[in-house]
Structure 1
């Protein structure tokens, strides 16, 4: 059976095959070699797009408003030799083939992520309504949990042709994917995740308690009740593409991938051997962008210090709503339909609380039970999800005391880091009354609330029912040949532009779409032997629903 990758389903194009093809991704006219192209954002989309634009012979000029890495942010604990808290992306499914291509290019290593009930976690504790269960596998939990797992599998198979659709994705069978997926888009655009669960025949035979536990504990990585209001199409993509399965953790922190790519020598059609993104940018990113406006055929970019530069093209990889708030964008650069889509894009909240501890003490065996004193923990308490990271013998360890979304994340939004830790310890003391976690904590905690960061104002997009048309407009904006001249030259990328928000593979794929768009905007083209995403988009692009 072929390996499952994030191939479609809306646009079944193999982005990884495109960038690794021996014929290359394309060429630009000789007189365009060395042309400056602005890239807003030094996150995954910005750095990966920069690398591929550089290969073409263009000069990507990277602008970053605050911290290099975007939401691939690894914060090093003070005084350690590179022990990190992963504030943004921390678990990466192996189906993300594009991401892993660049991870391998950067020479990073990974290990299995300690998700609930996984071998990497070792053991899991589920604590709901004051009742606690210890498990090493699903079979160790009460029958209710297996009933929920079977019900969700049955719901997917019965309503979404799940086995057939996933088999078509594995086989890269574009026609079959579209035959199965496009009718679901038409029928389910206005359907919530909760509606799918509650009205499935399998769950209707069970009852509210099963739906409640499913929301609290979920499947794969944990509870899904924060996603209950979201579009079911968005959740179904996660399931189909294996994004919630077989996930890995980047040793030393994922942010190092982007730093290594920034410094790496990249073979290019124009630049001398040994040239890197860093060297093309003088060793540092440019400053925050405050304004974008039309300047003849160019886009004029103004930074926070008032410096103005005209670029042949600009790629914005920031969260889309920053184009309506933090950056003054001349209205004529986008059509009104696209402005509506940008304004309506909805971002979810997320908060994490990390502490450094002296050692992986949670592996100590309780003589009374014969079990580890603590385990990966899912609960309805304030912490929601608690994860443990062993960094090896003789090194401090890390605990993510709490990872929460939406309402649970907002509960701690105004609180100090220390208070967040106190509340998390209080919650965990109810589950592990005999364990003194505080005695093992070292240094200062590391916390994040993405909605409080002015450069993000939210963690990741969470499409609501009825948002498919908005996503379609934003995702397909790289196809600019049919746009009025006044709306060409400003491109969009990032996981929030993709069909799979919150997953870095979406950032990779939309970055590569934008590279094709910029290449063709400047008069270039992909080789006949290796057509790019825009070459196949007219035939295989996402279904367009009528307005």
Structure 2
């Protein structure tokens, strides 16, 4: 399988989701008695829509509940007066290793382009400013030697602490046995240790100074600084690195929100049961129901009942919950007996990362102009220790407005601006950037009201995505494997979990897609369906290749 594209094949559960999706036999089939049966989907983000789309293709009727906006954290907002230019408030860069995610990007006919990450060709140029010292670069070699030493030290740390090359090669070859032989011992070694512990105890970084670790935290490599992840379990960072999440990232031309909206509207030609022209939109009479307010098991029918925020109750043989896990104990009155106490512990212990972004639309991509004295571009993708942290430039053509993400920050940096309105955030960002680019009047180019978001301030999300702490592996294992329900007591069957916070790769849309496909397998099994013998699904191979268990 060495000729297969590199994908997020494992490492916890090495299952080829992209091959399962592309197989001519399809994901499986249902008995005639199940055709048209209703399945509730709580949340119309990418996980809910992928799950609903595939269940519809199998012949079931997904019934959606959405408390906010269709699309979830794939949220593209147009600037006032311009329907072509968007601010990407949620997911905006998607690694090519997300093969299941790109299956739907391609199926929906969307175009992609390289994302302007630091030190990439798409960025053109990068400015790094730390402690008031400014560096201009187009590639790593243009930076002072300390940056190259940091990059080399991290590569060495990955080899020393995680057999990185061998593990990535096994993933590339899709060799499940080789992956598990390396990964399972790493789980036991690094579950209870932090990312910072991994860095600071590696021989490569121990041979260097604290300043090197500080530079790594502030700047990092690939997508930018890493210090907001320093408290997280090292397993989470290893997954990002080894599956290529931090490299070869693309954006969706016209906005990422197009994908969930097209899934909602798309009428597949290969439907079971439903007539040609059927879509999720048509099955739901044009729009999702209001958000779920209560989930409980109906004692008379033994089905799972969902009451929406209007007070209307419907009953279902299966329910898929794709909402943020905390909402099951806060916003939604969820009957306790639907989940085991250990699973409730896992859902409640999930820890979310804070994130804030501020965008403006400008008259043109003025940053491409050259300084007549230095020859440098007037402005570049910028990484700094100032309040803005990361500044990204989006070019739509010389004769088109451009977009600047003035600030993309995390955790404590995001909390600093949480109480501030969009105008104040913009003012602070421009003030910080003026110290890096004293000869550039960014404000004179702005042609829009700013658009900003703090995900932790959104009652439907309460954070940007999961950031697992040391010791959280067991919790993640419980949540991820919940779609395997044959050994659960009857009162806990029929309700499934999906979404990136259920996955092993939070923050990446691929994790949402993979858990959605797990739920499809679980629902299909609930209705006595099965996969083709030559195209087994995730639940068929889970007993052999599922995540390693740690001692209680």
Structure 2 length as normaliser, TM-score?
0.98
The 2-side partners of 1:388 and 1:542 are apart by 40
Q: Which residue of 1 aligns with 2:50?
A: 48
* Partner secondary structure for residue 451 of structure 2: strand
Q: 1:230 aligns with which of 229, 232, 254?
A: 232
| Residue 305 (structure 2) pairs with residue 300 (structure 1) | yes
The 2-side partners of 1:392 and 1:333 are apart by 53
Q: Which residue of 2 aligns with 1:140?
A: 142
The 2-side partners of 1:539 and 1:368 are apart by 64
Render the CA deviation track for 1:224-262: whole Å, top value 9, x for unaligned. Answer: 000000000000000000000000011100101111111
Q: CA deviation at 1:263?
A: 1.0
Q: Which residue of 2 aligns with 1:546?
A: 551
Q: CA deviation at 1:297?
A: 2.7
CA RMSD of aligned residues (A): 0.7
Q: Which residue of 1 aligns with 2:28?
A: 26
Render the CA deviation track for 1:327-346: whole Å, top value 9, x for unaligned. Answer: 01000000000000001000
Listed as ranges, the matches of 1:160-239 within 5 Å are: 160-239=162-241
| Residue 357 (structure 2) pairs with residue 352 (structure 1) | yes
The 1-side partners of 2:17 and 2:435 are apart by 48
The 1-side partners of 2:517 and 2:524 are apart by 10
Render the CA deviation track for 1:274-314: whole Å, top value 9, x for unaligned. Answer: 21111111111111100000014311000000000001111
Q: Which residue of 1 aligns with 2:509?
A: 504
Kindly tell me the number of residue pairs found equivalent between the two proteins: 547
The 2-side partners of 1:343 and 1:264 are apart by 35
Q: Which residue of 1 aligns with 2:452?
A: 447
Indicate conservation of the 8 Å contact 2:114/2:122, yes or no. Answer: yes
* Partner secondary structure for residue 305 of structure 2: strand
Shift >6 Å, 4+ stretches: none
| Residue 441 (structure 2) pairs with residue 436 (structure 1) | yes
Q: 2:126 aligns with which of 114, 124, 127?
A: 124
Q: Gaps spanning 5+ residues in structure 1: where?
A: none
* Partner secondary structure for residue 134 of structure 2: strand
Render the CA deviation track for 1:129-157: whole Å, top value 9, x for unaligned. Answer: 00000000000000001101110000111
Listed as ranges, the matches of 1:59-70 within 5 Å are: 59-70=61-72
* Partner secondary structure for residue 31 of structure 1: helix
Q: Which residue of 2 aligns with 1:403?
A: 408
Q: CA deviation at 1:81?
A: 2.9
Indicate conservation of the 8 Å contact 2:57/2:271, yes or no. Answer: yes
Q: Which residue of 2 aligns with 1:334?
A: 339
* Partner secondary structure for residue 411 of structure 1: helix
Q: Which residue of 1 aligns with 2:417?
A: 412
Q: CA deviation at 1:269?
A: 1.3
Render the CA deviation track for 1:77-107: whole Å, top value 9, x for unaligned. Answer: 1101321000000000000000100001111
* Partner secondary structure for residue 154 of structure 2: helix
Indicate conservation of the 8 Å contact 2:365/2:398, yes or no. Answer: no
Render the CA deviation track for 1:349-372: whole Å, top value 9, x for unaligned. Answer: 000000010101111111111111
* Partner secondary structure for residue 449 of structure 2: strand
| Residue 315 (structure 2) pairs with residue 315 (structure 1) | no
Render the CA deviation track for 1:436-463: whole Å, top value 9, x for unaligned. Answer: 1111111210000000000000000000
* Partner secondary structure for residue 42 of structure 1: coil
Q: Which residue of 2 aligns with 1:524?
A: 529
The 2-side partners of 1:348 and 1:179 are apart by 31
Q: Which residue of 2 aligns with 1:38?
A: 40
The 2-side partners of 1:294 and 1:63 are apart by 17
Structure 1 length as normaliser, TM-score?
0.99
Q: CA deviation at 1:192?
A: 0.2
- Of residues 371-380 and 2-11 in structure 1, the stretch that sits farther from structure 2 once superposed is 2-11
| Residue 306 (structure 2) pairs with residue 287 (structure 1) | no
Q: Gaps spanning 5+ residues in structure 2: where?
A: none
* Partner secondary structure for residue 47 of structure 1: helix
Q: Which residue of 1 aligns with 2:11?
A: 9
Q: CA deviation at 1:273?
A: 1.3
| Residue 472 (structure 2) pairs with residue 467 (structure 1) | yes
* Partner secondary structure for residue 52 of structure 1: helix
Q: Which residue of 2 aligns with 1:242?
A: 244
Q: CA deviation at 1:400?
A: 0.0
Q: 1:84 aligns with which of 83, 86, 95?
A: 86
The 2-side partners of 1:203 and 1:338 are apart by 38
* Partner secondary structure for residue 339 of structure 1: helix
* Partner secondary structure for residue 444 of structure 1: coil
